[in-house]
Amino acid sequence: MKKVVFLFLVAFATHSNATVRTVNNRADGGAQFNNLQTAIDQSQNGDTLYIHGSQDSYGNVSIAEKALTLIGPGFYPSKDNPLTAEVGNITFVNNMEVAGDNNGSEIHGLIINSLLLPGFVNNSGFRIIRNSLNYIHMSSANKGTKYSNMLIEGNFVHGGIAGNSGNDGYFDITIQNNVFGGGAFIGSLVNCNNVIVNHNVFYSGSKTIAFNASCRNLLVSNNIFSKRSFGNNDIIFSTFSNNLTFDCNGTNEPWAAGNNVNNGGNVANENPQMASQSDITAGKADFNLDFSIASGPADNKGSDGKDIGLLFDAVGSLNWAVGRSARLPIVVNMTISNPTVSPGQSLNVQVSARKNN
**Could you say which of 177, 204, 219 is where a domain stops?**
177
Q: In terms of domains, do 67 and 203 share one? A: no
The Cα diameter of the chain in Å comes to 78
109 φ/ψ sector (left φ>0, alpha ψ -120 to 50, else beta):
left
Q: In terms of domains, do 161 and 61 share one? A: yes
> How many domains does the chain contain in total?
2
Q: Is 144 within the bounds of a domain?
A: yes
Q: In terms of domains, do 221 and 172 share one? A: no
Q: Is 228 within the bounds of a domain?
A: yes
Distance CA 266, CA 254 (A): 10
- In order along its 357 residues, the chain shows pLDDT tens digits of 334 344 334 444 444 568 999 999 998 889 999 999 999 999 999 999 999 999 999 999 999 888 899 999 999 987 777 899 999 999 988 654 444 444 689 999 999 999 998 755 567 889 999 999 999 998 776 667 788 999 999 999 999 999 987 778 899 999 999 999 998 999 999 999 999 999 999 999 998 999 998 899 999 999 999 999 998 889 999 999 999 999 998 788 999 998 999 999 999 999 999 999 999 999 999 999 999 999 999 999 999 999 999 999 998 889 999 999 987 776 767 788 887 888 888 888 888 776 777
Q: In terms of domains, do 30 and 152 share one? A: yes
Q: Is 314 within the bounds of a domain?
A: no
Q: In terms of domains, do 7 and 54 share one? A: yes
Cβ within 8 Å of residue 97, ≥6 positions away: 65
Q: What pTM was computed for the model?
A: 0.91
Distance CA 104, CA 127 (A): 7
Distance CA 335, CA 323 (A): 28
Q: In terms of domains, do 149 and 199 share one? A: no
Q: Is 312 within the bounds of a domain?
A: no
Q: In terms of domains, do 148 and 237 share one? A: no
Range of the domain at 264: 189-296
